[in-house]
Structures are given as C-alpha cells and as structure tokens.
Amino acid sequence: MATERNQKENEARVKRKPLISIPAPVDSLLAGWAGLALWLLLLLLLALYPYTGVSSVALFVGSQIFVLVTLASNWNLIGGMTGYVDFGHAVFFGIGAYIMGILVTGSPLLISPEWGFWQALPASGVAAALFALLIGLPTLRLKGPYFSIAMLGTLVAMREVARVLRPITGGGVGLNLPPLLNRLGDYYLMLAVMGLVVSIIWWIQRSEFGQSLIAIREDEIGAEMRGINTTLHKIVAFMIAAFFTGTVGGFWAWQNTYIDPDVVFVEARTVEMVMMSMLGGLGTVWGPPLGAVVIYFLQDLLWGSLFGVHLVALGVLLVVIVLFMPEGILGTLGDRSSTSLGRLLSRVGRSK
Amino acid sequence: MDQLLQALVSGLLLGGFYAVMVLGFSVIWGVMGVINLAHGEFLMIGAYLAWGLSRLFGLDPFASLALIVPLMFLVGYLLQIVLINRIVERPHLMTLLVTFGVSIALANLFKILFDADPRNVAVAYNGSLQLAGVTFPIVKTIIFGAALLIMVCLHLFLQRSRLGKSIRAAAQNKTAARIVGVDINRVYAITAGICIALTAAAGAMLSPTQAIFPFMGPPFTLKAVTITALGGLGRIPGALMGGMVLGITEIFVSTYVAGIGTNLGVATSFVLLVLILIVRPQGIMGGLRPLEPEAE
C-alpha cells in the first residue's frame, strides 16, 4: 500500500532523524523551511497516489487519516501551543456537522433551495468559528482546569441543546444527508484541507503570532505585561482551530450521510484529538500529524475488528501515554523541552 | 402558589441528591487537588451494580448499598494506589488527562458489557405521597433522608475520628502532615476509597428514579463541578447548599421556561458554572484552590 508507505516514510523521517543526528538542529530544521519543503513533497506524493490505480477503499482510508491529522493539528493549536487544554473541541466538529446537515437537507427549517455541498462547507467552518468567538469570550478568561471543564460542559450542553431543538436539528432522530459517493473527491478535498491546516500551523509557529501564543502558554501575566493582547491572541487562535474543525465536521457529516447528537457531540472525539497530539508531542508542528497516523494504524492493526473496543483502548492509551510518555514521540526521541508538557514537567521539576 | 411550592419541594429533594452525589468529587478535589473527571462514571457503575443486584438476587437498591459500598471502596483504594498516587504531585494537566481517559474507558467498557440500552430498576414503593397539596415522590424523599444521614456521618468521621483528622491534615498541609507521621499515600488511598464508595452509593440510590445507561456519567461530573464551585471544596455544608441551589435552579428553569422539560439540566448548570467562575474565580463561598500548575 503506497499510502501506508508514504505515511510511514513521513513517520520515519520525523522519528529517526533526532536519533541519528544531534536532536536540536534537526528540530529547528524541521521547524524551518526544510520542514515545509518536506511537507509539500509529501503532499505532492499523496496527490499523485490515486493515479497509481488504487481501490476506493484505500482512498477512503486516506481521507480518514487526513481528517484525523487535521483534527489533531487543530486541537494542538489551542491545546498545545496556547496551553488552553480544550476538552470540548468536538463541539465545533458537531456544529460544523449540524450546519452542513441543516443547510444541505434544508428540511427541518424549510430552507427552500437547499444549499450545495460547496456552499455549505465554508458555512460550517464559519459557523463553528463564530461559535468559538461567542463561547471563547467567557471561557477563555478561565484558567487551567477550569477552562477544560467549561469546554467539556459546552460539549455536553450542546448535545442537550441539539436534542431539544427538534424543529431545527431533528432532535434525537438526527438528520439524513443525501448519499453521494465520491471517494476521489473526498480524498483530494481532505488532502487540501490537511495540507492547508498543517502549513498554517507551521507558519503560525514561526510567526510573531505563534510566539505570542507560546508566551501566553508559558506565562500569561508576563505576556500581558509585555504588551501582548492576550485576549485577542487567544480568541484568534481559538477561532482558527474552530473554523477548520467545523469544516472537517461538515465534511464528515457529508461523508457519513447521517448525524445525530450522540454521533457528533461525543467526548470520545475530543479524547482522540487530545491523544493524537499527546502521542506525537504536544505543542510541536509535526507531532500531532505523526500521532494521528500512528493512532490510525494502531487502531487498524490492534483493535479494528472489534467495534467499540477501540474506544476503551483509546481511554486506556491516554492514561498510559500520560503516565509513561508525557512528552510524546517527538519529545521522547528528540528535544524534551520542544513539547509543552515536557517544558511544564521540567519547569516543575526545577522549582522543587 | 401551589406550583411554586411544588417546584421548591422538588428542587430541594433534587438538591439533597446532588449534595450526596457531589461529596466524593468535592472531597477528592479538596484533599488531593485532583479534579476527577471520571466522577460520573463511578456513579454510573454504582447504578449498574444496583441494577445487577436487583436483577440477580432481587435486592432492593437501598439494601444493596451494603455490598456496593465496600466493593467500590476497594476499587477506589486500588485505583488511587495504582494510578493516581503516581501523578498526584505532577502538573494538574496530567491528572485531568488521566481521569478523562479513565472516564472514556469506563463508559465504553460498560457499553460493551451492557449495550447502550437504558436499564431500569423497579421498586415496589415507586409511588408518591400528597402532603398539603404538594407531591412527595417516595423514593426521592428516601434519598433525601439518606443524603442527610450520609452527610452527618461523613462530617462526624472527618471531625472526630483519627483517620478523618489525618485526612484533613493532608488536605491542609501535605508537608506538615508528612512530618508528623501521616502516611500520605495511604491516607490518599483511603480518601479515594471513601469518595468512590460514596459516589457509587449515590448512583445506586439514583437507580430507581432514572434510566441507567453507560453514558449517563458526564452530566453528573459537570454538575458536580458546578456545585463545588457554588459551595466550596470539601465542605459538607457547602455541598448541601450548592446542591440545593443547583437543584432548585434546575427545577425552576424546567417549570417556568416553556418547552424545555428537564432536558437542559447540564446547559443550566453550565451557564451557572461559567458565570460563577468569571465573576468569582475562587467560588461563591471561596476556597477553590488557585489551580496554577506551578503553584503546587
């Protein structure tokens, strides 16, 4: 399987180099233009991949992996780089999915010309970003665990709201979207979204904006005293992360053709994002994509056959990673302090 | 007027349950500084145990507490020794992530074991009493009484017994407690055992009044956070007060805001929580710890 090989090459590239050469320069190399060049090369290879005449199943697998990579990178922007650990990020996924469902079917609200997929997809993202603005204004003032819990509350509360607002969302019955199978289109769409998101994260990490986010993570009061408008930075990062998560949610609703509150507003999806980021390396550019790929194939190999077991394993794996590998793959093999939890741990260790 | 009185009574009865439900969460947070996101899942386990015992042996949910409490004490004790004691002194983010992982794993484990179908526990005394024009559902009234009893017992235990004193010492100053010879790890494990047992007991008592399903946990966890923010950490009167406030708020919202029913309980408590945390980050009664990762 060529995709597999490509993905594995990517993994190996990120994985092996810190071991072979001195970690720090390689890390900075990957964070720099070389990293972007390698990323674009990988995207090009992935774009050529369907021309090798593969089955539609392989294309489906590809688009699923791209979805996971996009979600993990998005979560990492707010959870890893900014240090606001969001336990309810799936809420944006759900909102995107519902906006897509409502606009495309049109039926519950009697929107008379139903929107097409291409009009509804950006609308999903925009709606999620607006919701992030709305919910972020109060919640992003909360610190540490309180923010995490407030976002978890948002997720569970929105699940209730979606169930109660029967005239708009179809309630617990859910919405059925028109089934249109286009695996090749899905593949390229998600490839493009993934490429865009990871490139944006790469750019953010180099930009002043990203450095400000990291400053907020390390010391929010200090950052504020240095003249960084912390509220604005946090909100913008939150909205970017929400926009793409909502877009992915809209796409997922389209691909899955069915949504209901328990399918889209689900904590397990947040855990997935958290865990993929943690496994790769929280707060790094290449960690979350790496983690997402590893998780996908791990799921496929180890517990793909038994439905439901993978969610149990997901929870257990999160516990195991936190206990034994809190710095993630990149932090364990390379520069420990490049990941945010690694920094946190080393700082706490110092102060004692 | 009758409606108002009825809403007040229903709110108070619900509040009594909330108060006993939140105790385990609040004491764990207060003593070890761990926010247990798997709180609702232990409640769910308690409810499933009550269901299983009543189905297999015909045990009454309140009688089955005699089995559930020791069993879940053991579970909590072991969980603390195996898992939480390893990370209790690390950054808060880690305990938060670990308990989140535990919660997902448990909920989905129970989904595999028992399906997602809602279960019910039937009791003979499932009626209600009329008193001065107000309806008292019998089960909820018993829960209310049991809640008060449990709270008094816990209060006496924490204030009077030697073990309770060492738990409070560990909560107030870990280092000093260690110096005077308190075995912190053991005290933590016992605290966790008591708290998990209490939570499961609350779940077992809840079982006759509500459908039991694997994903019932998270709403209770969130309500527990709200009540703790209302009433303060590890304080039993605070838990009672916070529980009452949330219970009455919820019932009033569902009584007076049309077309919602009780389905928006979490949304209500979520709004309440965010408002409290923004207006008074230390909680209404004060005493929420400043949870900066480096503060510990």
ipTM of the complex as predicted? 0.79
Asked which of A86-90, A130-134, B249-253 is least confident by mean pLDDT, the reply is B249-253
Could you say which of A85, A156, A345 has the minimum Cβ distance to residue B218?
A: A156
Could you say which of A152, A314, A322 has the minimum Cβ distance to residue B94?
A: A322
- B-interface mutation test, from A75, A78, A141, A156, most B Cβ less than 10 A away: A156
Residue A278 touches chain B, beta carbons under 8 Å:
yes
Across A310-319, A320-329, B96-105, B117-126, the highest mean pLDDT is recorded for B96-105
Domain limits for position A260: 22-347
Closest-approach residue (CA) in chain A for B115: A308
Residues of B (195-214) whose Cβ lies below 8 Å from A: none
Cβ contact B274:A138 at 8 Å: yes
**Given pLDDT bands bounded at 50, 70 and 90, which one contains residue B294?**
very low
The 10s digit of each residue's pLDDT in A304-332 is 556 667 778 888 888 888 888 777 777 76
* A54/B241: higher pLDDT: B241
- Confidence (pLDDT) at A40: 87
CB–CB contacts below 8 A, A to B: 151
Q: In this structure, what CATH number is given to the domain that contains residue A162?
A: 1.10.3470
Residue A172 touches chain B, beta carbons under 8 Å:
no
Cβ contact B89:B28 at 8 Å: no
Rounded average pLDDT over A94-106 = 87
Question: CA A285: distance to chain centroid?
Answer: 12
Rounded average pLDDT over A82-108 = 86
User: Is the pLDDT score of A238 beyond 90?
Assistant: yes
* B159 to B167, B198, B243, B284: CA distances (angstroms): 10, 18, 22, 24
Measured at the alpha carbon of residue A298, what is the angle toward residues A294 and A304, in degrees to the nearest 5?
Answer: 140
The 10s digit of each residue's pLDDT in A286-298 is 888 988 998 888 8
Residue B40 touches chain A, beta carbons under 8 Å:
no
Asked which of A131-145, A273-287, B20-34, B245-259 is least confident by mean pLDDT, the reply is B245-259
Is B97's CB within 8 Å of A318's CB? yes
Residues of A (204-263) whose Cβ lies below 8 Å from B: 262
Q: What is the pTM of this model?
A: 0.82
Q: How much of chain B exceeds pLDDT 70, in percent? A: 91
* B255/B201: higher pLDDT: B201
Rounded to an integer, what distance in angstroms lies between the CA atom of residue A216 and that of residue A196? 25
Residue A85 touches chain B, beta carbons under 8 Å:
yes
* B288/B135: higher pLDDT: B135
Asked which of A49-58, A252-261, B215-224, B264-273 is least confident by mean pLDDT, the reply is B264-273
Could you say which of A138, A145, A311 has the minimum Cβ distance to residue B96?
A: A145
* A300 to A256, A303, A320: CA distances (angstroms): 19, 6, 19
Rg (CA), chain A: 20
Tell me the shortest Cα–Cα distance from A179 to chain B, in angstroms. 27
Rounded to an integer, what distance in angstroms lies between the CA atom of residue B250 and that of residue B240? 15
Asked which of A24-28, A60-64, A155-159, B288-292 is least confident by mean pLDDT, the reply is B288-292
Residue A290 touches chain B, beta carbons under 8 Å:
no
Asked which of A273-282, B16-25, B264-273 is least confident by mean pLDDT, the reply is B264-273
Note whether residue A1 is domain-resident: no
Is A347's CB within 8 Å of B294's CB? yes
Partner residues linked to B130 by β-bridges: B135
Mean pLDDT of chain B: 83
User: Is the pLDDT score of A351 beyond 60?
Assistant: no
Closest-approach residue (CA) in chain A for B110: A312
Rounded average pLDDT over B92-117 = 86
Could you say which of A138, A164, A274 has the minimum Cβ distance to residue B260?
A: A164
Residues of B (58-117) whose Cβ lies below 8 Å from A: 83, 86-87, 90-94, 96-98, 100-106, 108-109, 111-112
The alpha carbon torsion through A108, A109, A115, A118 (nearest 10 deg) reads -70
The 10s digit of each residue's pLDDT in A211-221 is 888 888 888 88
* A203/B87: higher pLDDT: A203
User: Is the pLDDT score of B155 beyond 90?
Assistant: no
- B-interface mutation test, from A165, A312, A346, most B Cβ less than 10 A away: A312
**Given pLDDT bands bounded at 50, 70 and 90, which one contains residue B295?**
very low
Residue A137 touches chain B, beta carbons under 8 Å:
no
- Confidence (pLDDT) at A108: 59
- Confidence (pLDDT) at B93: 79
A138 CB neighbours in chain B (<8 A) are 274, 278
Residue B246 touches chain A, beta carbons under 8 Å:
no
Residue B252 touches chain A, beta carbons under 8 Å:
no
Asked which of A32-36, A100-104, A219-223, A343-347 is least confident by mean pLDDT, the reply is A343-347
The 10s digit of each residue's pLDDT in A6-59 is 555 555 544 444 443 335 556 666 767 877 888 888 888 888 888 887 788 888
Rounded to an integer, what distance in angstroms lies between the CA atom of residue B178 and that of residue A303? 44
The 10s digit of each residue's pLDDT in A245-291 is 999 999 998 888 888 888 888 888 888 888 888 888 888 888 889 88
User: Is the pLDDT score of B214 beyond 70?
Assistant: yes
- Confidence (pLDDT) at A303: 64
Is A138's CB within 8 Å of B278's CB? yes
Could you say which of A85, A160, A347 has the minimum Cβ distance to residue B93?
A: A85
Closest-approach residue (CA) in chain A for B270: A153
Number of domains in chain A: 1
Rounded average pLDDT over B256-269 = 68
**Strand boundaries in A210-275, DSSP class E:** 258-259
Ramachandran region of residue A308, left (φ > 0), alpha (ψ -120 to 50) or beta?
left
Question: CA A1: distance to chain centroid?
Answer: 25
Residue B215 touches chain A, beta carbons under 8 Å:
yes
Tell me the shortest Cα–Cα distance from A147 to chain B, in angstroms. 9
Is B215's CB within 8 Å of A262's CB? yes
- Confidence (pLDDT) at B6: 84
Across A214-218, A236-240, B219-223, the highest mean pLDDT is recorded for A236-240
| Burial B155-193, CB ≥16 within 10 A → b, else e | eeebeeeeebebbbbbbeebeebeeeebebebbbbbbbb
Note whether residue A339 is domain-resident: yes
Is A314's CB within 8 Å of B281's CB? no
Note whether residue A3 is domain-resident: no
* B6/B47: higher pLDDT: B47
B37 CB neighbours in chain A (<8 A) are 87, 149, 152
If we measure between CA atoms, which residue out of A251, A206, A210 comes closest to residue A96?
A: A251
If we measure between CA atoms, which residue out of B229, B282, B283 comes closest to residue B22?
A: B229
Residue A308 touches chain B, beta carbons under 8 Å:
yes
Rounded average pLDDT over A87-101 = 91
Rounded average pLDDT over B277-293 = 59
Tokens linked to A259? 């949504």
Tokens linked to A282? 């929280």
Is A348's CB within 8 Å of B294's CB? yes
SS3 (DSSP) at A274: helix
- Confidence (pLDDT) at A7: 56
Is B270's CB within 8 Å of A157's CB? yes
Is B102's CB within 8 Å of A163's CB? no
User: Is the pLDDT score of A347 beyond 70?
Assistant: no
User: Is the pLDDT score of A349 beyond 60?
Assistant: no
Is A150's CB within 8 Å of B112's CB? no
Name the strand (E) or helix (H) holding A193: helix A183-206
Note whether residue A272 is domain-resident: yes
Helix residue spans in A165-182 (DSSP H)? 166-169
Rounded to an integer, what distance in angstroms lies between the CA atom of residue B220 and that of residue B61? 19
Residue A20 touches chain B, beta carbons under 8 Å:
no
Residue B267 touches chain A, beta carbons under 8 Å:
yes
- Confidence (pLDDT) at B292: 40
Cβ contact A239:A129 at 8 Å: yes
- Confidence (pLDDT) at A18: 40
Is A163's CB within 8 Å of B292's CB? no
Is A341's CB within 8 Å of B90's CB? no
* A130/B115: higher pLDDT: A130
